[in-house]
Structure formats: C-alpha cells, structure tokens
Amino acid sequence: MEVTVAKSAGFCFGVKRAMDMVYAEADNCEKVYTLGPIIHNEQVVEDLEKRGVYAIDSPADLPEGEEATVIIRSHGITKEVFEELERKNVRVVDATCPFVKKIHNIVQEKKSEGFEIVVVGSASHPEVQGICGWCGNDCTVLQTPEEAENFRYFGDKKICLVAQTTFNYKKFEDIVDILRKKSYDILVMNTICNATEERQTEAGTIARKSDAMIVIGGKHSSNTQKLYEICRNECRDTHFIQTLDDLDLNLFQSFRSVGITAGASTPNNLIKEVQSYVREQ
C-alpha cells in the first residue's frame, strides 16, 4: 500500500509556539492555568494536567488570592477578558498566535476609524469570539455563502472584512465575491493564515490522488473539521480520527493508496504512529 503523508500536517507555527510556552511555564511555575484547553487535543490536555497545568473557562474560576500563572492560548481572548486578567493577582503569559493578534489590532484600529466590521468565520469558535471582543462585539459574523447572500447593510460606513485564520479559503473567496456584488464599499483583509491555505490545498491534492484519506485531529478542532470537508469532497473514503484507536484498518485492506493529513493541533508523534500502523498493513 502506498501511504502519502502531508508535509504540512501537524502543529502550525502558532500552536507550536503556544505549546513551547506552556511546557516552559509548567517546568518553572507551581500554579499554572490556561484559559480554555491550550489546544483541541485531549491527549495533550491530559499530559499537561499531569504536569500541574489546568484549563479554566474564565478568570472567575481562578482561586481568590492565589498567585498563579495564566496562559492565554493561541486562539486569543477578548479585550474584556484580558483586562479582567490584569485586575487579578496573576502573572499573564500571552501565547496568542501573532497572526490572530494582528487581526485584533486590525479590527480595533478600523473600528476606531469608523469602519463597519465583518468577520468571516464561525461565531462559536474561541478565535472569532476573541476577534469580536476587540471591536466591542459591534460586528457581524458570516460563516456561509447563504449568510452572505442574506446580509444587508444600510449604513454609510465602509466595511472592513477579516477572516478567522483557519477558515476555508475557497469559502472565504465565495463570501467576498457575494458581498462585492452587492456594491458595498469593502476593505478586504485576507487574514487566513498562509499555513492554513497551504494545509488545505495540500490535503485536497493528496485526497484527489488517493483511494482513501485519513484526517487526524481533535473532534472540536475547527481547522481539522475543515480539512475533513475538503478531503471528503475529493475522496469519498475519507475518515476523521482522533487517535489510532479510532482507525478501523479493515476498511483499508482493499485500497492501493492512502493519504494522511492532520490538523494544526495534532502532535507529530500521533501522525507518525498512524503512518507506521497503516504502512504495516
């Protein structure tokens, strides 16, 4: 069986940076918390808990009066939550991905200049929630072409459009085209991370050439879900797994070629484990 592993599979720059920061803090501090799971990977979160790093949902969950280190994950947080952390007796380590931080600065600046802000992404995703918080939550979030078709703006402000860093690039282009056809005055800021575009393009290319495709990542990982959608459109036998335990190799016995890709929160050792196991069959 021929097995092709995407070169772009696994930790992206922002996730690797955050992981390096959290493990460094775990080695040097007694009380360490992350605002939400540091990444969407249950195995990594469990490993961190063994090292004394615990995920909390909000600053309100911090024990009163306890000196601690709080790590902001790569997704980023709202301005309001950031200010709440500053009022606490804690040391803040900001592991927000620099590409996400750039979007925070854009929406804050453009909002102050009088722009209407539109964010292309998933409204329920922590990254998008954080972005919205840096323009006072006075913005519109669009996730699908249908939502873009239904979008109506009757104001006289210029629109500034940004995107979730892990959004599907093709869908982003479709949404931009729909809004431009409405003749709005739009400043388009393509803030999709280059690594995301490369990962999605490579995944689609491998899926087209493979009899079956394996996509590895956390079930709550937005970028992994998008990879699955892209691969599924190109290869009918696409399988989404979190760990090797989810892989039924009986399904692959009749295939001559299998492709493997993984989301930005997937550790390299897990990718290698799946790759080796498939090749041995």
Catalytically active residues, by annotation: 127
State the Cα–Cα distance between residues 72 and 64, nearest whole angstrom. 19
DSSP class of residue 246 equals G
State the Cα–Cα distance between residues 281 and 253, nearest whole angstrom. 8
Secondary structure of 169-208 in the HEC alphabet?
HHHHHHHHHHHHHCCCCEEECCCCCHHHHHHHHHHHHHHH
State the Cα–Cα distance between residues 48 and 66, nearest whole angstrom. 20
Question: What is the strand order of the sheet 116-120 is part of?
Answer: 139-142, 116-120, 159-163, 186-188
Tokens representing 93 are 């380590």
- Cβ count near 231 (within 10 Å): 27
Tokens representing 65 are 């009066």
DSSP-derived 3-state class of residue 267: coil
